[in-house]
A = this chain, B = another copy of it.
Amino acid sequence: MSRPDWIALDWGTTNLRGWAMRRDGSVIEARTSDRGMGSLGPETFEAALREICAGWLDYGTVPIIACGMVGARQGWVEAAYTRVPCPPLSPSLTRVPGALDVSIIPGLSQADPADVMRGEETQAAGFLALNPGWDGVLCMPGSHSKWAHLSAGEVVSFRSFMTGELFAALATRTVLRHSVPAEGWDEDAFDAAVAETLSRPERLASALFTIRAKDILHGQDGARARSRLSGLLIGAELAAAKPYWLGQQIGVIGAGGLASLYVRALAAQGAPATQANATATTLAGLTAAWKQRTSS
């Protein structure tokens, strides 16, 4: 294997992903592990990093650029938030003390309404690197979905929505667990539910219980129940995020399934969105950070 010029790391709560990179931004080798920040203690951070980089560091020191929860207060070294409005990529990265040359991309914060992101700023930077001069709104679905308004190369404002975590908590930790299976999908039920909370968001709290009641009274199909829960929550998110996406150019960043649901729901509202691959976007953001560090 050729010697990497630098190493890209996406170190989140659940997963750790690493790429051995060439100077020109091409990938020599990619690896994924389940050693996310959430399962590690401070004494194991460096060992986990050396494990995912096995072989890549044999030729001597290699610059490592990292993003994600690695820079949180509960992470390896806290990378203080940069406050919006600002470019998604801070000009100053946070160095991890020690023998390894690790730099962390800081997350973004917003004063009012209070909000934070960590990891998504790198995706936003990558999206801008791949689409220079792009103005519009980025939707980044996930446990905590983020909507970010980008203009003139800066993140102007952003909002977080707990949609993914709400889905998981409702489907597994409430009475709905008896009616919502782990698998199964029904597009019509999803579409109808999105329309329902998008037009009448105040109905969410009561609409949720109808999923259980329909099962008790009519033995509602599990796939319908699961799609309806997803649609109700995504519809509520779209209702709340409407000031963001209405009349804007929209990019949805995400792999396959979940991001496709957002694109589908937005299309039904007459709001066409471009879907971008999350891994490619993250890697483009890490590459932009490496280039900035190298040129400065």
Contact = CB atoms under 8 A, between A and B. Distances in A.
B206 A113 contact: yes
Contact of A208 (B162, B174, B207): B162
| Chain A contact surface mostly | helix
Contacts of A162: 170, 174-176, 205, 208-209
B169 A206 contact: no
Interface string A201-233: 111111111101110111000000000000001
Integer count of this chain's copies in the complex: 2
Nearest to A13: B175
A109 B218 CA distance: 11
A161 B206 contact: yes
Contacts of A50: none
Given A114-B218, A166-B174, A236 B202 contact: yes
A202 B109 contact: no
Contacts of A191: none
Contacts of A237: 205-206
A188 interface: no
Contacts of A217: 81, 109, 111, 114, 116
Contacts of A242: 202
26 contacts: A109-B213, A110-B213, A111-B217, A113-B206, A113-B210, A114-B210, A114-B213, A114-B218, A115-B209, A116-B213, A116-B217, A144-B209, A159-B209, A161-B205, A161-B208, A161-B209, A162-B170, A162-B208, A168-B173, A169-B173, A173-B173, A201-B204, A202-B240, A205-B233, A205-B240, A206-B237
